[in-house]
Amino acid sequence: MADRTALLERPQPPRPPGTGSLALPLGLLKTARPRQWVKNVLVVAAPAAAGELFSRHSLLQLALVFALFTAAASAVYLINDARDAEADRAHPTKCRRPVAARQVPVTVAYAVGGLLAVLAPVAAAVLCTPLTAGLLGAYVVMQLAYCVSLKHVLVVDLAVVTTGFLMRAMIGGVALGIPLSRWFLITTGFGALFMVAAKRYSEAVQMSGSAEKLGATRALLTEYTTGYLRFVWQLAAGVAVLAYCLWAMESGGTANGLLPWRQLSMAAFVLAVLRYAVFADRGTAGEPEDVVLRDRALAVIGLVWIAMYALAVADW
């Protein structure tokens, strides 16, 4: 009897991950990185810039494009984690990812990721336009190439991540047939490069002095110098500000509006870049959405810029 009681009181081993009925769906959802979906809001950028955001057709189409882009991005995350599962298991933090922790089998991650990677462009071709499908397909191919090899190529890795942001900003306009301004593309592209390089610079600064930590966080960081990354984000910030100012000044006067809101928005845009550069210079510029949400002043400046831009588009 005593032996039986001791057996019952003996600590039981923890249940392996994935034994619950919802473990697999929740693991797939976590692997799809829901926090990163906020980046896909950029699909409204081109329609908003053209003042064609608030019609019922535009809103429905943009909601569809957002969903399709989210599916495509999720496919890349699933395939990436399946491919890196063994390496992630040896990493101090990435070992908690569902695929590395065996909550999601590698074969399931590959299958779901591959299915989403095919279905997203096909659905775009059926429900949107062929050009939208082509852009979405190009995004999937480019990001998968990044996961396989391009993330190990100097400078190209920065260009690929920047192009991903630019594609998000372009696809809404492409889906609605809105011509994309050259100034819009230059400002968006170099603005994205500014944030990407600032994030890399921050990672390098925080891990400086430890090549082992740099390699564990992002292998290519050991190949960049902090001086080079600082040069990149400063150059990109300068080009983005110049392009935005040229676009605003090219647009002319007040037209029927009360004030030249488009030109006045230059002040808010420059202030936002300068404020973001504070965090980049300190080496604390992580994910762009985290920087904006963490700093109240930057969020307020952003809202002022949005208000000015909206007034310019509405011609008030």
* pLDDT(315) > 80: no
Give the 3-state secondary structure of the chain. Answer: CHHHHHHHHCCCCCCCCCCCCCHHHHHHHHHCCHHHHHHHHHHHHHHHHHCCCCCHHHHHHHHHHHHHHHHHHHHHHHHHHHHCHHHHHCCCCHHHCCCCCCCCCHHHHHHHHHHHHHHHHHHHHHHCCHHHHHHHHHHHHHHHHHHHCHHHCCCHHHHHHHHHHHHHHHHHHHHHCCCCCHHHHHHHHHHHHHHHHHHHHHHHHHCCCCHHHHHHHCHHHHCCCHHHHHHHHHHHHHHHHHHHHHHHHHCCCCCCCCCCHHHHHHHHHHHHHHHHHHHHHHCCCCCHHHHHHHCHHHHHHHHHHHHHHHHHHHCC
Q: What is the mean pLDDT of residues 138-158?
A: 92
Is the pLDDT confidence value at 1 over 70? no
Supply the pTM of this predicted model. 0.83
Mean pLDDT over each residue of the chain, to the nearest integer = 85
pLDDT band at 20 (very low <50, low <70, confident <90, very high): low
Average pLDDT over residues 185-197: 94
pLDDT tens sequence across 76-119 = 999 999 988 888 887 777 788 899 889 999 999 999 999 999 99
45-54, 98-107, 205-214, 295-304: range with lowest mean pLDDT: 205-214
Q: Which of 22-31, 86-95, 171-180 has the lowest mean pLDDT?
A: 86-95
User: Mean pLDDT over residues 219-226, rounded?
Assistant: 79
Average pLDDT value for residue range 252-275: 82
The CA-based angle 312-40-174, given to 5 degrees, is: 65
Q: What pLDDT score does 69 carry?
A: 95
Q: Is 166:201 a contact under the CB 8 Å cutoff?
A: no
